[in-house]
Protein backbone atom coordinates (compact mmCIF):
# COMPACT_ATOMS: atom_id res chain seq x y z
CA UNK A 1 0.00 0.00 0.00
CA UNK A 2 1.26 3.47 -0.78
CA UNK A 3 1.02 6.40 1.58
CA UNK A 4 2.56 9.83 1.94
CA UNK A 5 4.21 11.12 5.10
CA UNK A 6 6.03 14.32 5.91
CA UNK A 7 9.38 14.02 7.64
CA UNK A 8 11.86 16.64 8.77
CA UNK A 9 14.53 17.02 6.08
CA UNK A 10 17.38 16.15 8.45
CA UNK A 11 15.62 12.96 9.57
CA UNK A 12 14.99 11.88 5.99
CA UNK A 13 18.61 12.49 5.00
CA UNK A 14 19.86 10.56 8.03
CA UNK A 15 17.51 7.66 7.21
CA UNK A 16 18.70 7.57 3.59
CA UNK A 17 22.34 7.46 4.74
CA UNK A 18 21.53 4.66 7.17
CA UNK A 19 19.76 2.67 4.45
CA UNK A 20 22.73 3.05 2.09
CA UNK A 21 25.17 2.10 4.85
CA UNK A 22 23.25 -1.12 5.49
CA UNK A 23 22.60 -1.79 1.79
CA UNK A 24 18.83 -1.68 2.14
CA UNK A 25 16.03 0.56 0.93
CA UNK A 26 14.47 3.52 2.68
CA UNK A 27 11.16 1.65 2.56
CA UNK A 28 12.66 -1.39 4.33
CA UNK A 29 14.32 0.81 6.95
CA UNK A 30 11.08 2.65 7.72
CA UNK A 31 9.12 -0.61 7.84
CA UNK A 32 11.65 -2.16 10.22
CA UNK A 33 11.61 0.88 12.50
CA UNK A 34 7.83 1.05 12.57
CA UNK A 35 7.60 -2.66 13.38
CA UNK A 36 10.11 -2.23 16.22
CA UNK A 37 8.14 0.62 17.75
CA UNK A 38 4.85 -1.23 17.45
CA UNK A 39 6.29 -4.48 18.82
CA UNK A 40 7.88 -2.81 21.85
CA UNK A 41 5.00 -0.50 22.77
CA UNK A 42 2.11 -2.98 22.60
CA UNK A 43 2.62 -4.07 26.21
CA UNK A 44 4.42 -0.95 27.37
CA UNK A 45 3.19 2.53 28.24
CA UNK A 46 1.57 4.58 25.48
CA UNK A 47 3.96 5.98 22.87
CA UNK A 48 5.43 9.35 23.76
CA UNK A 49 7.29 11.73 21.50
CA UNK A 50 11.03 11.73 21.96
CA UNK A 51 11.60 15.48 22.07
CA UNK A 52 15.36 15.13 22.52
CA UNK A 53 15.57 12.97 19.39
CA UNK A 54 13.39 15.41 17.45
CA UNK A 55 15.69 18.26 18.41
CA UNK A 56 18.78 16.23 17.49
CA UNK A 57 17.56 15.89 13.91
CA UNK A 58 16.30 19.45 13.67
CA UNK A 59 12.57 18.82 14.12
CA UNK A 60 10.99 21.62 16.14
CA UNK A 61 8.67 19.24 18.01
CA UNK A 62 5.43 20.23 19.62
pLDDT tens digit string along 25-60? Answer: 999 999 999 999 888 866 655 556 655 555 555 555
For the segment 12-22, what is each residue's pLDDT rounded down to a tens digit?
999 999 999 99
In the three-class reduction of DSSP (H, G, I as helix; E, B as strand; rest coil), residue 21 is classed as helix
CB of 50 within 8 A of CB of 2? no
CB of 57 within 8 A of CB of 15? no
CB of 11 within 8 A of CB of 22? no
Its domain, for residue 51, covers 9-56
**Distance between CA 4 and CA 7 in Å, rounded?**
10
What is the count of structural domains for the chain?
1
Residue 61 inside a domain? The answer is: no
Specify the DSSP class assigned to residue 8. -
Residue 1 inside a domain? The answer is: no
The model's pTM is: 0.62
Residue 35 inside a domain? The answer is: yes
Amino acid sequence: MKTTIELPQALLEKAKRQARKHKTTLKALIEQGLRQVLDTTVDAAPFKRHVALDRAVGYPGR
